Amino acid sequence: MSLFVRLADWQTDRDAIRSIRQKVFVDEQQVPPELEWDELEASAQHFLVYHENKPIGTGRLTDGGKIGRMAILKEARGLGAGLELLRRICKFAALSGQKNVYLNAQVQAIPFYERAGFASAGEEFMEAGIPHMRMERTLNEKEPCANLDDWNR
């Protein structure tokens, strides 16, 4: 089992990113398409996670350290892909100078994010008809890769 996370670009990787998010958020979780796609797509740093050379997950980091749109295909859950993706996004954020990151976690996923070092902050709220909680994490000085060349290790 080999997992690989790479930086992705909205312009060149749009089909893979959209396919994963369509299946997970729109089809599986019934998020209205007009809420799934936003004006931040082009400016966000996207990530793709692969298993056996097939894209199985995606996530993004927007300005201000917000992690979002994390999605792993249903058939690929349980492989550790979500945790590896989150770990790599945090490494990239730290390398980019972020001291803290945050995300809006679906309530059912809070234990997953807690295992990754995130803590709940604030009250539960609804987003796209799904209960969420803001979660935050301070990034460790040892978090970043030495440089971007280390990304493909």
Instruction: Look up tokens 């859950």; give the residue.
Output: 77
**What CATH architecture is 3-152?**
3-Layer(aba) Sandwich (3.40)
**What pLDDT is attached to residue 142?**
61
Gap between the Cα atoms of 106 and 52, Å rounded: 28
**What pLDDT is attached to residue 1?**
57
Q: pTM for this one?
A: 0.89
Q: Pick out the chain residues at pLDDT < 50.
A: 144-153
Gap between the Cα atoms of 140 and 125, Å rounded: 28
**What pLDDT is attached to residue 128?**
87
Instruction: Look up tokens 């740093």; give the residue.
Output: 45
Gap between the Cα atoms of 31 and 14, Å rounded: 19
In angstroms, the first-to-last Cα distance of the chain is: 15
**What pLDDT is attached to residue 148?**
44
